[in-house]
Amino acid sequence: MLFDSVAFAYFLDPNPAYYLRAEELFGRIAAGRITGISSTLVLTELLVPYYQRGGGNAPALSATVRSYPKLEWVEVGASIAERAARLRATYNLRTPDAVHVATGLERHAGWFVTNDPRLRRVEREGIRVWLFDELAIPPT
């Protein structure tokens, strides 16, 4: 299961509408019930707001996220970059989205956990898109 930056954001900075689902998914990864993968690009996207606020917590957050149990971090190498370029051209994706999808396809992920319905178009590539908005627990 491939995780987009938004899944980490919902888990780390609890959003009442999405936190419980994010917590459940990350709990399944830690327990070894699902295989979790993410591109290292997630770190770039996730840390930007922390650096915009002065960066004090960014190194600790990075270390915490990178050491999450049983979550594989995939470096963006030439193969992923080339696949991302094709995906970007074919589906008119933003570069970060294309890199995330390419990462999932390289690692044979069956699911892409995100909250961007525009990414449904990549399902033709053989990866299913799971949206938080469709399965989120509403706030009480």
Is 53 domain-assigned? yes
Share of the chain above pLDDT 90, in %: 77
Is 140 domain-assigned? no
Is 12 domain-assigned? yes
Question: 113: exposed, middle or buried (C-beta count within 10 Å: 0-12, 13-18, 19+)?
Answer: buried
Tell me the C-alpha distance between 122 and 112, whole Å: 10
32: domain CATH number? 3.40.50.1010
Overall number of domains in the chain: 1
Please identify every stretch of the chain with a pLDDT value under 50, giving residue numbers as ranges.
Answer: 140
111-114 vs 71-74, strand pairing mode: unpaired
Select from 96, 94, 122, 93 the least CA-distant residue to 109: 122
pLDDT at site 107: 96
Q: Name the residue range of residue 32's domain.
A: 2-135
pLDDT at site 137: 54
Q: Take residue 43 and report the two structure tokens written for it.
A: 């770190």
Residue at token pair 């178009």: 121
Tens-place pLDDT, residues 97-130: 999 999 999 999 999 999 999 999 999 999 999 9
Residue 53 C-alpha from the chain's centroid: 22
Is 57 domain-assigned? yes
- Give me the amino acid identity at 45: E
Three-state secondary-structure class, residue 112: strand
